Structure 1
């Protein structure tokens, strides 16, 4: 689609601060997009053909929501660290293997979705971000959850459909974590840390589809303590 076809989108964006350019077969920023950098709070570039985001993304300093899902991105630029107002980052379904260290500056992030990428090392750049509520790393290539992940402040961590065989017991020290999703991984029953059952705030621990039967899970030391938290949360919901 040529720039003429995008003109109406731009006019609307000038009034609303929101620009949706999904499904336009874009592989680079349209020229006119740069002029909107001082105005945009929401930018949706999903379902295009981007392999990289240009460094100009760092000029969009008012952005609160950035969606680049369903592209062909192999990474994210350091310039993303300039988006200090960003609250939501959606990069699902790309080919991203690692995160730039500059993301540690994004102190307002609340939600990050990196599902369905090629991440093999746990992205510790999100540790220490105190407002981050949800981190979705499902459908990647993770094999371990390291000690350093204990400094995550998320309330929910989604690690479904990875290749995780080991989890640090220090994950029990996460100050706000309530939900930990580990379905369809490579965990043995002995790999489930007892401390997470006994000493954490986690009240939803999803473990279906690992290398043990769920009925065996009920035999673990600390299971009863975990179930007390689980039941207390369920009662609040109903």
Structure 2
């Protein structure tokens, strides 16, 4: 007895057949529909992978919002990358990602973060470059495990005070914003490196000399006068690298500041350590 088995079509063949069946549409409509079909297929594939690995990569999928399908993975996702999409805001349920440690949303047209963003208490690495953020929510100070923060290329006008209580913070990149002001009391800031290149900073608070772990301070292309670098900052801080090119003074005058010799001792010691 002969049996006939119907061969199952592959997802790729189904997509091709579907695309070919829409020939009655004009070419523009056909292209949009084909892209939508492929996008849905890619999304499902990425989410299926995330369910197995705990890491969800959704870059460059032309997303307008965070897919609701992610909500069912809220307890297991550790890494999420939504970069290069068009997602102006996160949904309220996003803060239920209790295991999330690494979130990347670069170039997403992000306008703001939820006020309760600080509920993501396990977050360790956060990258939000190339968006339109003007501030960080007050709850940001609850991100007690945050180690690396990148918010370059946004619209911040002041150094976020919400970073000052974060005890695990190592690296902060706030370059290419519109920051003019730093907090008057920065003594509690735990960061090892701060990048403020390409901002509009004109004053350095002397309390920056009390930052207990600060080793690298990048201030290139700002609006600093030479007087901003006081003897207290140069002598008493732990900063071993000042990157200050492109401000309102020449480097020769920086070399003649009181406290420069003490700074160079730290610089040389650090350089020797890594050679």
Q: Report deviation, 1:149.
A: 2.4
Partner residue in 1 for 2:188: 151
Runs (4 or more) in structure 1 with deviation over 6 Å come to: none
Q: Report deviation, 1:148.
A: 2.4
Partner residue in 1 for 2:12: none
Q: Report deviation, 1:193.
A: 2.5
Q: TM-score, normalization: structure 2? A: 0.84
* Greater C-alpha Rg: 2
Q: TM-score, normalization: structure 1? A: 0.97
Q: Distance in 2 between matches of 1:223 and 1:69?
A: 38
**Superposition map of 1:204-215 within 5 A:** 204-215=241-252
User: 1:110-163 CA deviation, whole Å, 9 max, x = no partner?
Assistant: 000010000002201010111100011110111122222222100001110001
Q: Distance in 1 between matches of 2:183 and 2:96?
A: 34
Contact 2:161–2:183 (Cα < 8 Å) also in 1: no
What's the secondary structure of 1:148's corresponding residue?
coil
What's the secondary structure of 1:149's corresponding residue?
coil
**In structure 1, which of residues 53, 66, 79 is the aligned counterpart of residue 90 of structure 2?**
53
Partner residue in 2 for 1:224: 261
Partner residue in 2 for 1:188: 225
Partner residue in 2 for 1:80: 117
What's the secondary structure of 1:145's corresponding residue?
coil
Partner residue in 2 for 1:95: 132
Q: Which structure 2 residue ranges, 5 or more long, are not aligned?
A: 1-35
**In structure 2, which of residues 167, 173, 179 is the aligned counterpart of residue 136 of structure 1?**
173
Q: Distance in 2 between matches of 1:193 and 1:73?
A: 38
Partner residue in 2 for 1:176: 213
Partner residue in 2 for 1:198: 235
Moved more, 193-202 or 107-116: 193-202
Moved more, 2-11 or 139-148: 2-11
Q: Report deviation, 1:31.
A: 2.4
Contact 1:3–1:30 (Cα < 8 Å) also in 2: no
What's the secondary structure of 1:135's corresponding residue?
strand
Q: Report deviation, 1:96.
A: 0.2
Partner residue in 2 for 1:116: 153
Count of residues in Structure 1 that have an aligned counterpart in Structure 2: 238
Q: Report 1 or 2 for greater relative contact order, CA contacts < 8 Å, sequence distance ≥ 6.
A: 1
Contact 1:168–1:193 (Cα < 8 Å) also in 2: no
Partner residue in 2 for 1:66: 103
Q: Which structure 1 residue ranges, 5 or more long, are not aligned?
A: none
Q: Distance in 2 between matches of 1:3 and 1:38?
A: 23
What's the secondary structure of 1:112's corresponding residue?
strand
What's the secondary structure of 1:25's corresponding residue?
coil
Q: Report deviation, 1:79.
A: 2.8
